[in-house]
Homo-oligomer: A and B are copies of this chain.
Amino acid sequence: VSLATVDRVLNNRPGVRVGTAERVREACERLGYSPNLFAARLARGASYRLAFVLPTGANRFMLDLAEQVKRAKDHFASQRAYLDVVHADVFDPKALAAALERLGDTYQGVAVVALDHPRVRRAIDGLTVRGVRVATLVSDVPTSKRLRYVGIDNVAAGRTAGTLLGRFVASRKGPVGVILGSTKLSDHAERLRGFGEVLSRDHRHLQMLPARAGRDDDEASAAVAAALLTEHPDLVALYSIGAGNAGVVHALKATGRAREIVFIGHELSEQARDWLCCGTMDAVINQDAGHEVRSAARVLLADLAGERILPDQERIRIEIFLRDNLP
Contacts and interface: CB of A to CB of B under 8 A. Distances in A.
Interface string A290-327: 11001000000000000010101101011110111101
Contacts of A39: 38, 42
A38, A80, A318 interface centre (most CB from chain B within 10 Å): A38
Interface residues of A, number: 48
Contact of A167 (B74, B79, B160, B167): B167
Contacts of A310: 71-72, 75, 294
Contacts of A320: 319-320, 322, 325
15 contacts: A34-B74, A72-B310, A156-B325, A160-B322, A160-B325, A167-B170, A170-B171, A171-B171, A194-B324, A290-B312, A294-B310, A294-B313, A319-B319, A319-B320, A320-B322
Quick one: which of A68, A74, A171, A312 has the most chain B CB within 10 A?
A312
A198 interface: yes
A1 to B, nearest CB: 22
A324 B159 contact: yes
A256 interface: no
B163 A324 contact: yes
Nearest to A75: B310
A198 B322 CA distance: 13
Interface in A39-82: 39, 41-42, 68, 71-72, 74-75, 77-80
Contacts of A157: 325
A91 interface: no
Contacts of A198: 324
